[in-house]
Amino acid sequence: MLKNLKIGVKLAGGFSLLLVIFAAAGWFAWKNMNEVIAETGTLEERYLPGIHLSNEVENLGQAVMLNVRTYVLGESFADLDAAKKNFEALLAVLARGKEHASKHPGLEQLAEGMNTAEEQVTLYQQLLVESQGHMANIATQRRHAAEAAASMGAVAYDLLFDEKDELEKETEEGADADTLLDRQESILLLDDLVEAVHKAESYTLRSIAERRIELLDRVEDELKRVESLLKKVQATAVKQRQKDQLKKGFEDVESYKGAIASFREAWKDLDEMGKTRTAAAEGVLAAAAKVMNFSVERTLQIAGVVT
C-alpha cells in the first residue's frame, strides 16, 4: 500500500512524525524545567533560610556563653551588657525563624528547633539573673569578711602595742626580771595573734583571686588559731581595756567565720548554677545544630533533583 503512495505524501508523513517527536521532547523538557524551577524556588524560599538562621543562632549562642562566663569570672559589667544585647539579638533571630516556619509547609522541624532554642534561651536568662543574686551574696560576704578581718587586725595590734608600752614602762621603772619576762612572752603571743589574723586574711584574698575554694579551709584553720590565741591572752588579762578588746576580738572571729561559711555556700551555689547555665547554652546550640542538619539535608535532596 505504501508503494502506491506518492513521494510527497510520504515526505509529509515523515515530517509530521518528526514534529510529533520534537513536540513530545519539548513538552518533557518544559515539564522538567518547570520542576527544576519549582524545586529551586523551594530551596531558596524554605530551606536555605534555615541554614542562615541556625548559623546566626549558633554564633549568638556562643557569644552569649562567652559574655556570661567573662562576667561571672571577672565581674565585668561590660560583658553583662554585651550578654543582654546578644540575648535580645538571639531572641529576635528565633522569632524570625518561627515566623519563617509558619509561612512554609514542611518546616515543622525548623519550628520545633526554634521553639526549643527559645525555651533554653529564656531559661539561660533566668539563670543569669539568679547567678547575679549569688554573685551579690558573695560580694556581701566578702565585704563582711574584710570588715571582720580589719577589726580583728585592729584588736590584735592594739593588744600588741599596749603590751609593748607596758614593757617599756616596766623597763623604765626597773621591774624585776620575771615581770619583764612575762611581758615579753605576752608580746610573743600577741605577735602570733597578729600573724594568724594576717594569714586568715591572706588565704581569703588568695581563694578569691585564684578561685580556689579549698583555700577557705586554711582560712577556717587560721580563725581557730586566732580564737585559741585570744583565749590564751584572756587567761592573763587584768585591765578592763584589755578585756573589752578581747571581747571585740571574739566577736570579730565569729563574724569572720559566719561570713566565710556563707561565702563558701554562695560560691558552691554559683558553681552549680554555672553547670546549669552551660547546659542551657548547650541546649540552644544543640537545637541550632538540629535545624542546620535538617536544612542541609533537605537542601542536598533538592540539589540532587536539580542536578
| 115 found inside a domain | no
pLDDT of the chain, 307 residues: tens digit per residue: 545 545 555 545 555 555 555 445 554 544 444 444 444 445 466 677 888 888 898 999 999 999 999 998 888 889 999 999 999 999 999 999 888 888 877 788 888 988 999 999 999 999 999 999 999 998 999 899 999 999 999 999 999 999 999 889 989 888 898 888 988 999 999 999 999 999 999 999 999 888 899 999 999 999 999 999 999 999 988 889 999 999 999 999 999 999 999 999 999 999 999 999 999 999 999 988 888 888 778 777 766 544 4
- Distance, in Å, from the CA atom of 219 to the CA atom of 228, rounded to the nearest integer, reads 14
Residue 27: what pLDDT? Answer: 44
Instruction: Give the residue numbers spanning the domain of 236.
Output: 140-271
Residue 50: what pLDDT? Answer: 80
| 60 found inside a domain | no
| 306 found inside a domain | no
Residue 149: what pLDDT? Answer: 92
Cell of 22: 520534537
CA distances from 179 to 169, 171, 175, 183, 226 (A): 12, 10, 6, 6, 25
Q: Are 93 and 56 spatial neighbours (Cβ–Cβ below 8 Å)? A: yes
Between helix 177-209 and helix 108-172 the angle, nearest 10°, is 170
CA quadruple 225, 230, 233, 235: dihedral sign:
negative
Residue 37: what pLDDT? Answer: 42
Residue 302: what pLDDT? Answer: 67
| 32 found inside a domain | no
| 96 found inside a domain | no
| 27 found inside a domain | no
| 226 found inside a domain | yes
Domain count across the chain: 1
| 164 found inside a domain | yes
CATH number at residue 155: 1.20.120
